Structure formats: C-alpha cells, structure tokens
C-alpha cells in the first residue's frame, strides 16, 4: 500500500462525512455493476436485432416475444426484445381470441444474464380449432371498462375468460383500454401493475381477471348423467 493511499484511508476513518461519501459511491458502483444489458428491438418477422440497452434498475430480466396474429385468415408475425421485471415475465406459449377471427399466439423467453436475449426463439403455431367453450367479448378504447355483451368462441387450449384493462402507450401518447375474450391459462400469469411490451405498444394492466370458461349446456347435461359410484 502506497503512502498516499494509506493517508487517504486514515483521513476517511477520521471523517464521518468522507466515510459516508465513500460508502455512497461504493453502493452506486455496485448498483451499476448489477445492472443488466439486454438487446432491444421491435420488427415484423420471426426475429429482430438491435442495440444493447442498460436496463432500468427495477428491470432485472431480458425478454424476447415472438407473436403470430391472425385477422380474417391473414397472418402476421412480429418480434420484440426488451428489458422487463422478472416477476412479471412469462416464458412459454400464450393464446388469446379477442374477437371474431381475431386470434393471437405468442412464444416468450425470459432470462437474467447480460445479452441473454440475443438470438431467436421458435415462432408459435396457431391452433384455430374451436374447442366448444365461449367467453364474453368486448373491446374499448379511452375507457377501462367494457360490458362483454357479445360472445367469442375459444380455440385450441384456451380455457379461460380474461378481462384486462389499463393503459396502452405508444411513444409519448397514452390512453385507456379494456378488453375481454378467451385465453390459455398461461395468460393469467399477468397481474395488476404488469407492464407488457409488444412491437408497437406497452400495456400497463390495472385489471387482470381470469375465470374458467363455462361449460356449454350440452356438456354440463351430459356430465350430470354419468353414474356415480
């Protein structure tokens, strides 16, 4: 240890103010060292590449989302990569039906190491086979409630009726929204306060309700006629 460094340490030891300053600087350096770098991009297609971003302190995960939307039989694929809170992040498959012939499926991958979302993940497959379940449907902009007077038919493994509302933001513009429809149980991972990124928008949920889709009357009657042992 050099004499100058030794003298500096002695001065810090004799000065509480200098000690607090040194501790504060140390905590700042440790905080920066623990921050995460993620690839960030949004593009049409099954993959995207972008610049590395130093995530905000509260966002401790990198996420990749590949979505396939079907509207009136026409399919579109998009990819999004971003920073996210790990507790809000879901790795896996999600399917939703949010209107007549309006299906959306996605694969997502969450990780917690620098640059871990570089590369690509598989594009999800759409299953548009009706499964006999139905849910209330509605979609509203500029308000956080909608009545669900219409009914939408669920497909594939969608067994839940969801009701999401909150705010949707693109750039500096933010507005309220509400939506109801069918979803796989994996969509119910989302909780109030979750920020969900997509290609164009960021959704912040203020309501995130999921309930099992009711069985059709025919199924219920058939089930009730089974013998009891």
All structural domains of the chain, each given as residue ranges with its CATH number in brackets, are 35-214 (2.10.60.10)
| pTM to 2 decimal places | 0.75
Q: What is the pLDDT of residue 25?
A: 43
pLDDT digits (tens, 9 = 90+) for 152-200: 999 999 999 999 999 988 778 889 999 999 999 999 988 888 877 666 6
Q: How far apart are CA 12 and CA 31, in angstroms?
A: 22
Residue pair 25/32 in contact by the 8 Å Cβ criterion: no
pLDDT digits (tens, 9 = 90+) for 42-94: 999 999 999 999 999 999 999 999 999 988 888 999 999 999 999 999 999 99
pLDDT digits (tens, 9 = 90+) for 119-148: 999 999 989 899 999 999 999 999 999 998
Q: How many CA atoms lie within 13 A of 102 on its CB side?
A: 12
| Residue that wins the pLDDT comparison between 182 and 32 | 182
Q: How far apart are CA 93 and CA 79, in angstroms?
A: 14
């Amino acid at each position: 240890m050099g004499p100058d460094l030794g003298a500096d340490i002695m001065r810090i030891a004799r000065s509480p103010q200098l000690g607090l300053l040194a501790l504060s600087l140390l905590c700042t350096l440790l905080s920066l060292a623990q921050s995460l770098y993620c690839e960030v991009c949004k593009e049409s297609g099954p993959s995207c590449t972008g610049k590395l971003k130093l995530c905000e302190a509260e966002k401790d995960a990198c996420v990749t989302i590949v979505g396939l939307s079907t509207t009136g039989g026409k399919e579109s694929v998009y990819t999004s990569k971003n920073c996210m809170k790990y507790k809000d992040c879901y790795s896996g498959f999600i399917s939703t039906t949010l209107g007549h012939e309006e299906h959306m499926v996605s694969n997502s991958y969450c990780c917690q190491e620098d640059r871990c979302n570089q590369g690509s993940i598989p594009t999800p497959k759409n299953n548009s086979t009706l499964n006999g379940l139905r849910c209330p449907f509605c979609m509203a902009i500029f308000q956080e409630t909608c009545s669900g007077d219409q009914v939408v038919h669920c497909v594939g493994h969608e067994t839940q009726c969801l009701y999401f509302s909150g705010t949707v933001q693109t750039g500096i513009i933010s507005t309220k929204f509400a939506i109801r429809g069918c979803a796989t149980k994996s969509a119910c991972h989302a909780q109030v306060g979750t920020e969900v990124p997509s290609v164009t928008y960021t959704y912040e949920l203020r309501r995130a309700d999921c309930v099992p889709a009711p069985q059709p009357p025919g199924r219920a009657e058939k089930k009730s006629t089974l013998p009891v042992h």
